[in-house]
């Protein structure tokens, strides 16, 4: 057996076990460009103030607490069949393993769950389109 195939199989298998999205599929349900309001709930029940979010192409810009500059936090979007996966500054699988938010399209916008360290859920988000 070829050693490269063994290594590739081990990496893909490890990524699947850890919940990392590898080849997530077509971008038909991508996160649409525009302005959004985001509500955060840490651990599913601790509410944080609304923040402003702007999506341009494959980047998401967040204004924490709605009072700072419009790009105080930048995320890269890895488009998926259900919506997208955002992670800080890159869509590299290692960064997605460390911290990612998985978004799915809903009737009123998007719903997301934030995961850290391979799959520990720490927050829920809702994105609602404005303007």
Please report the pLDDT score of residue 1 as a whole number: 59
pTM score of the predicted model = 0.72
Q: Lowest-confidence range among 13-22, 36-45, 57-66, 84-93?
A: 13-22
Residue range 3-130 forms a domain whose CATH class is mainly beta
Q: By C-alpha distance, which of 111, 116, 114 is closest to 128?
A: 111
Top mean pLDDT of 4-13, 92-101, 115-124 is at: 115-124
Rounded percentage of the chain residues whose pLDDT exceeds 90: 42
The single residue listed with the structure tokens 């799959």 is: 119
Please report the pLDDT score of residue 11 as a whole number: 56
Q: By three-state DSSP, how is residue 51 classified? A: strand
pLDDT digits (tens, 9 = 90+) for 24-48: 444 356 899 999 999 999 988 889 8
94's CB contacts (< 8 A; 6+ apart) are: none
Residue 116 CA to residue 122 CA, distance in Å, equals 7
Q: By three-state DSSP, how is residue 63 classified? A: strand
Please report the pLDDT score of residue 9 as a whole number: 59
119 pLDDT more than 60: yes
Greater confidence (19 vs 82) lies with: 82
Query: In 1-131, at which residue ranges do the beta strands (DSSP E only) sit?
Result: 34-42, 46-56, 59-63, 73-79, 83-88, 99-105, 109-116, 120-130
- So where are the chain's domains? 3-130
Determine the average pLDDT of the residues in 47-75. 84
Do the bridges between strand 34-42 and strand 120-130 make them parallel or antiparallel, or are there none, so unpaired?
antiparallel
Q: By C-alpha distance, which of 94, 72, 98, 96 is closest to 84?
A: 96
- Segment holding 45, helix H or strand E: none
Residue 98 CA to residue 92 CA, distance in Å, equals 10
Residue 50, token pair as written in the block = 């609304």
Residue 98 CA to residue 117 CA, distance in Å, equals 5
Q: Which residues pair with 48 in a beta bridge?
A: 40
């Amino acid at each position: 057996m070829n050693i490269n195939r063994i290594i590739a199989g081990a990496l893909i298998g490890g990524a699947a076990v850890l919940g990392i999205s590898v080849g997530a599929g077509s971008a038909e349900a991508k996160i649409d460009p525009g302005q959004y309001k985001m509500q955060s709930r840490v651990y599913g029940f601790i509410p944080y103030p609304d923040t402003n979010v702007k999506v341009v192409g494959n980047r998401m810009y967040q204004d924490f607490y709605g009072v700072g500059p419009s790009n105080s936090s930048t995320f890269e979007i890895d488009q998926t069949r259900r919506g997208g996966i955002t992670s800080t500054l890159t869509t590299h699988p290692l960064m997605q393993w460390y911290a990612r938010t998985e978004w799915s399209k809903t009737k009123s916008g998007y719903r997301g769950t934030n995961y850290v360290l391979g799959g520990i859920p720490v927050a829920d988000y809702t994105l609602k389109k404005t303007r």
